[in-house]
Amino acid sequence: MGYLASSSRYDSMVYRRCGRSGLLLPALSLGMWHNFGSEAVYSNSRSMILTAFDHGITHFDLANNYGPAAGTAEETFGRVMKADLSSYRDEIIVSTKAGYYMWPGPYGEWGSKKNLIASLDQSLRRMQLDYVDIFYHHRPDPDTPLEETAEALTQIVRSGKALYVGISNYDAEGTRKMSRLLQKENIHLLIHQMRYSLLDTSNESVLDALEEEGIGGIAFSPLAQGILTGKYLGGIPSDSRANGHSVFLTGASITEEVMDKTRRFKAIADERGQSLAEMALSWVLARKQMASVIIGARNSEQIKENLGALSCLSFSEEEERRIDEIIGGRSE
Ligand SMILES: NC(=O)c1ccc[n+]([C@@H]2O[C@H](COP(=O)([O-])OP(=O)(O)OC[C@H]3O[C@@H](n4cnc5c(N)ncnc54)[C@H](OP(=O)(O)O)[C@@H]3O)[C@@H](O)[C@H]2O)c1
């Protein structure tokens, strides 16, 4: 099948409501943290974006600093949008973020109005877009008053540069506070992007806040950066993130404890007739607060494989109990 040849791209995707909002997100979204910057091969990055869209993945997640070099994932995405997807802009949800270090001096990171407004303007230029669909504050800033960050997000929506706003990596209390500050301005906090997977449920308490406030959840690193594909069970493959330049996943992350849990999750996936990666994605999606999972990929094949998760999204009580035992470190 050629790129963009499919008139049925929406048939096999599941679209889920993002909290109490009008926005539906594909159950699987594609993130551009790795493998889309200037050090990646453009034809492969393009192929991943188009393969994803051809399979109903309508949501692409970026941030100002994705690369390497920082900013270049947005440039790559903009190039593909312009060359291949410009007539599909209204069928696509683009998100970007600001908050991590991006440029030198006191205004290049965190949560000031100065940083957020300037960063979004830069992102729009790099992507050659008039607006993004979702703009996130990427991480909480302990020193900037939350009111100022909320004011910046409000201004961004009012200016039309983003349709919706979200937060990422906030705890439950910060989430509730931001939601209420934005409500005062009649702006709904659409979405919270958090790390969440079978191997990391430390953000569990945020899920309650999302439900109370009607905020949609979206999980990043749902495969624990690849560990939950089972690819590290027999050692570290040469073509894997842990063997690359990533500082976020290294050989040190592949501990015996993590491998033991991974093996036990895989046994349950085998019984369900799913690959471990499919089960890891469907398990996150079985949390009712989660609208979508953001997967990463190194090639189009991985994206197509991960779409298999959609064929079995529910878990029996017994499966949930056994998975909880493994998460909690108890023996089955
Ligand atoms: N808000 C935040 O602070 C934040 C932080 C991190 C990420 N994110 C977002 O979340 C997105 C996803 O994060 P992530 O890349 O860590 O997600 P992930 O889905 O947990 O890991 C993706 C990696 O797993 C491996 N993989 C995926 N499918 C595979 C398959 N079928 N078979 C074998 N290996 C497979 C690939 O790595 P290798 O093949 O290279 O091993 C791929 O790059 C990011 O792109 C970004 O948009 C946000």
pLDDT of residue 247: 86
Computed over every residue of the chain, the mean pLDDT equals 96
Q: Which atom of ligand 1 is nearest the CA belonging to 100? A: 3
Phi, psi dihedrals of residue 222, rounded to the nearest 5° = -70, -20
Q: Do 3 and 51 meet the contact criterion of CB atoms below 8 Å apart?
A: yes
Compute, in angstroms, the gap from residue 300 CA to the centroid of ligand 1: 13
pLDDT of residue 283: 98
Using one digit for the tens of pLDDT, what is the confidence trace for 244-265? 888 899 888 999 999 999 999 9
pLDDT of residue 45: 98
Compute, in angstroms, the gap from residue 50 CA to the centroid of ligand 1: 17
pLDDT of residue 8: 85
Mutate to test the pocket of ligand 1, among 302, 303, 305, 306 (most ligand atoms within 8 A of CB): 302
Q: Which atom of ligand 1 is nearest the CA belonging to 295? A: 19
Rounded CA-CA distance 92/193 in Å is 18
Buried b (16+ CB within 10 A) or exposed e, 137-174: bbbbbeebebebbbbbbbebbeeebbbbbbbbbbebeb
Buried b (16+ CB within 10 A) or exposed e, 273-282: ebbbbbbbbb
Ligand 1 neighbours by CB, cut-off 6 Å = 31-34, 61, 138, 168-169, 193, 220-226, 229, 231, 240-241, 277, 294-298, 302, 305-306
Integer distance in angstroms from the first to the last C-alpha of the chain? 44
Using one digit for the tens of pLDDT, what is the confidence trace for 184-205? 999 999 999 999 999 999 999 9
pLDDT of residue 5: 57
Hey, where are the domains in the chain? 15-234+276-314
> Distance of CA 201 to CAs 28, 52, 68, 241, 327, Å?
19, 27, 28, 22, 8
- Span 177-183, average pLDDT: 98
- Please report which confidence band the pLDDT of residue 312 belongs to, taking 50, 70 and 90 as the band edges: very high
> Distance of CA 300 to CAs 34, 49, 102, 113, Å?
14, 8, 29, 38
Rounded CA-CA distance 88/58 in Å is 10
Mutate to test the pocket of ligand 1, among 32, 33, 299 (most ligand atoms within 8 A of CB): 33
- Span 271-300, average pLDDT: 98
Look-up: residue for tokens 């109990």?
A: 321
Phi, psi dihedrals of residue 97, rounded to the nearest 5° = -145, 160
pLDDT of residue 1: 41
Compute, in angstroms, the gap from residue 296 CA to the centroid of ligand 1: 3
- Please report which confidence band the pLDDT of residue 2 belongs to, taking 50, 70 and 90 as the band edges: low
Q: Which atom of ligand 1 is nearest the CA belonging to 228? A: 20
- Please report which confidence band the pLDDT of residue 330 belongs to, taking 50, 70 and 90 as the band edges: low
- Ligand 1 atom 33: residue of nearest CA: 229
pLDDT of residue 10: 93
Q: Which atom of ligand 1 is nearest the CA belonging to 35? A: 43
- Ligand 1 atom 36: residue of nearest CA: 297
Q: Do 69 and 22 meet the contact criterion of CB atoms below 8 Å apart?
A: no
Pairing of the two strands 15-17 and 59-61: unpaired
Compute, in angstroms, the gap from residue 46 CA to the centroid of ligand 1: 17
Strand residues in the chain grouped as ranges (E): 15-17, 24-26, 28-31, 59-61, 93-98, 132-137, 162-168, 189-195, 216-220, 290-295
Using one digit for the tens of pLDDT, what is the confidence trace for 29-82? 999 999 999 999 999 999 999 999 999 999 999 999 999 999 999 999 999 999
Q: Is the model's pLDDT at 237 over the cut of 50?
A: yes
Class of domain 15-234+276-314: alpha beta
- Ligand 1 atom 26: residue of nearest CA: 226
Q: Do 265 and 276 meet the contact criterion of CB atoms below 8 Å apart?
A: yes
Using one digit for the tens of pLDDT, what is the confidence trace for 13-34? 999 999 999 999 999 999 999 9
